[in-house]
Structures are given as C-alpha cells and as structure tokens.
Amino acid sequence: EVQLVESGGGLVQPGRSLRLSCAASGFTFDDYAMHWVRQAPGKGLEWVSGISWNSGSTGYVDSVEGRFTISRDNVKNSLYLQMDSLRVEDTALYYCTKGATFWSAYYEDSFDMWGQGTMVTVSS
C-alpha cells in the first residue's frame, strides 16, 4: 500500500524555524518527484515546493523562496521541508505529495498520492 506520513508540524513563533518530514512507503521512492502542498484553514490548495527524483532540480512558490528548503533522502525514503523565518501567513496544513510521472523533474506534473498532512501554526 502506498503511504505518505508527514510529521514535524506544531506551534511556532514568527521568525522561528521548523523542519517537516515525510516518510514514504509502498512505491519506489527514488523514481518520482516529490512535493509539498499546503492548505490554510478554510482555504484552497497552494503548491509550496517540489524536488526531482534525483534532487537535481527544485522549485518554490515565490512567497517561500529563500526561506524554505526542500530535500530528500532516497536511502531513507524520506522528504523534508526546512522552514526558516516563518511568518503568520505560513500557517497551514502541509501535505506531502508524490509526482505522478516516472523519473520526472519537479515541474509539469500532477500529484497522485497525498499524505494526511501535518499542521503548522505560526503565532506569537
């Protein structure tokens, strides 16, 4: 069974850091790009960041560029999101998602598997 399990969310003050993790199982992790998509409470979906299957390319939404860093460990079948200089507007449920295309870069893809998400709340 394909499974994505996020962890690392919590309550953090503005300006502080948090690191999200996603443990993947049930598929060949290093064959697919991976992404983080977030959803603020009561709002729609927003793509945050993506990384190619081999970490060769990464991308970010403009609002997190320079503050967030995506990475992956294909030995541990894990995806990470280092979030620095957090802002109140980063408050959201963060989903780990799998790119649908085999050996894809992080772009021009769809998201065919989603975790249940980990909640990040940025508040003083």
Contact residues for other proteins, defined by CB under 8 A = 35, 44-47, 50, 59, 61, 95, 100, 107-112, 114-117
Q: Give the shortest CB-75-to-other proteins separation in angstroms.
A: 26
Q: Could you give the CA distance from residue 90 to residue 97 in angstroms, rounded to a whole number?
A: 18
β-pairing verdict for 18-25 and 45-51: unpaired
Are the C-beta atoms of 113 and 5 separated by less than 8 Å? no
Are the C-beta atoms of 21 and 7 separated by less than 8 Å? yes
Tokens, residue 75? 């030995």
Nearer to other proteins, 13 or 101 (CB): 101
Nearer to other proteins, 11 or 45 (CB): 45
Q: Give the shortest CB-32-to-other proteins separation in angstroms.
A: 13
Q: Give the shortest CB-16-to-other proteins separation in angstroms.
A: 26
